Amino acid sequence: QLGETAAELDCRAYVVGGFVRDLFLFRKNEDIDVVIEGDGIAFAKTFANAHGARTHTHEKFGTAVITFPDDFKIDVASARMEYYQFPASLPVVEMSSIKMDMFRRDFTINTLAIELNPDKFGRLLDFFSAQKDIKDKVLRVLHNLSFVEDPTRVFRALRFEQRFGFTIGKLTSSLIDNAVKMDFFKRVAGKRIYTELKLILKEEHPAPILLRLLDYDLLRIIHPLIKIENDLQRLLETAQKVTDWHDLLFIDESYERWAVYFMTLLCHCDLDATLEICNHLTIAPRYRKMFGETRIMMAEHLTRLERRKRMDNAQVYNLLKGLRTELILYMMICTTSDTAIKRISKYHTQLRHAAITLSGKDLLDMGLPPGPLFSRTLQAVLEAKLNGRVRNREEEIAFARQ
């Protein structure tokens, strides 16, 4: 249908990029990117009108998003010469618009396009040997200036390398080394680095990617205050184990896994360094608080969980109650003490769900005067329940009466 609309408008439509790459890798991908040789915005509007969808357009970039009533989206871009600005030394003359659009992309594996117009429907365009590179499992840039054009592609390279189990081509690898050596990143805003870092942290297996960043000395680029100690590899591997453990046990509970990994990277940073990193990366205030003050306060709690010889359930509960899952998991990652790990995991699997049936109304019925004594009594009953001294409603009432 996309192809039919294109034919009606006398332009050509192609599905491109990650969607086509993932077809060849047998991976699921629901992000559809369409490139129109011609006016992408006019195409998107016509198509949306005919199919009961909405469009959101960016005239300046010649792009549009078509959104269907079920929220399914298609991104549309225009392949037109005037949208491209290449460094003068690149051989871009006499390329068709679609080839030019592919040429401006990051890696060869992202340069496949499939024609959608009915006359050539399904024809694959492979201008830069993408199929061969996918088959050989290598990641290559299209030209030597790729990282000059956009240094954040270095992060994408390592993300794709690990996600697909590819290797980075020799030349591409030396171009990354060069980008680091020449510090191409000094012109890149912290916000863009943060966006790329988050994409890495949101991958299924972020740890190997972060270790690869370390190989290329790129963690320093995220921020020079991120302290790289010898235990980074162990910490990241533990982060993977701990989050896997959590995700298996609490399949329905959502939390921000990427934030756990981010805190793992920050684990040797003090409050000042953390705040400086957050500022540089323009991290939102609610995360800033979790990554900064709360995380550092947790380190003190952790010391208690590690060192105190005897701690009953109520003491563990009182120390950890109300903490976000991200921080609970972070504490489990940071400690090497079995005692602390057992205490934290007991809290997370059992104690945090503890509840009593006794309410303020019950206390009123018992003749207790409303006031601070109410909450103290309820707290004492809860603690008794956590420590196994009361088990049911009768025992709760009897305990409250004492």
Residues forming contacts to ligand CTP in the complex (CB under 6 A) are 17-18, 31, 105-106, 110, 150, 152-153, 156
Minimum CB distance to ligand CTP smaller for 109 or for 340: 109
Least distance to ligand CTP from the beta carbon of 268, Å?
29
Least distance to ligand CTP from the beta carbon of 245, Å?
26
Alpha-carbon separation of residue 398 from 232, 359, 387 (angstroms): 52, 14, 16
Minimum CB distance to ligand CTP smaller for 42 or for 199: 199
Minimum CB distance to ligand CTP smaller for 130 or for 278: 130
Give the residue nearest to ligand CTP (CB): 18
Q: Could you give the CA distance from residue 272 to residue 225 in angstroms, rounded to a whole number?
A: 10
Minimum CB distance to ligand CTP smaller for 156 or for 304: 156
Beta bridge partners of 115: 14
Least distance to ligand CTP from the beta carbon of 247, Å?
20
Minimum CB distance to ligand CTP smaller for 154 or for 384: 154
* Sheet with 112-115: strands ordered across: 54-58, 63-67, 73-78, 32-37, 12-16, 112-115, 124-126
Q: Could you give the CA distance from residue 174 to residue 211 in angstroms, rounded to a whole number?
A: 18
Least distance to ligand CTP from the beta carbon of 114, Å?
13
Least distance to ligand CTP from the beta carbon of 61, Å?
13
Least distance to ligand CTP from the beta carbon of 163, Å?
8
> Do 347 and 382 meet the contact criterion of CB atoms below 8 Å apart?
no
Least distance to ligand CTP from the beta carbon of 110, Å?
3
Task: State how beta strands 167-168 and 138-139 pair.
Answer: parallel
Q: Could you give the CA distance from residue 313 to residue 373 in angstroms, rounded to a whole number?
A: 22
Minimum CB distance to ligand CTP smaller for 110 or for 172: 110
Minimum CB distance to ligand CTP smaller for 102 or for 269: 102
Minimum CB distance to ligand CTP smaller for 12 or for 153: 153
Least distance to ligand CTP from the beta carbon of 150, Å?
5
Q: Could you give the CA distance from residue 325 to residue 256 in angstroms, rounded to a whole number?
A: 8
Q: Could you give the CA distance from residue 274 to residue 86 in angstroms, rounded to a whole number?
A: 38
Beta bridge partners of 76: 34, 64
Minimum CB distance to ligand CTP smaller for 198 or for 346: 198
Q: Could you give the CA distance from residue 210 to residue 158 in angstroms, rounded to a whole number?
A: 9
Instruction: Establish how many alpha carbons lie within 13 A of residue 166's alpha carbon, considering only the half-sphere containing its beta carbon.
Output: 26
Residue 226's φ and ψ, nearest 5 degrees, are -70, 115
Q: What angle do CA 219, 221, 225 make, to 5 degrees?
A: 75
Least distance to ligand CTP from the beta carbon of 18, Å?
2
Q: How many CB atoms lie within 10 A of CB 290?
A: 21
Q: Could you give the CA distance from residue 226 to residue 342 in angstroms, rounded to a whole number?
A: 29
Task: State how beta strands 32-37 and 73-78 pair.
Answer: parallel
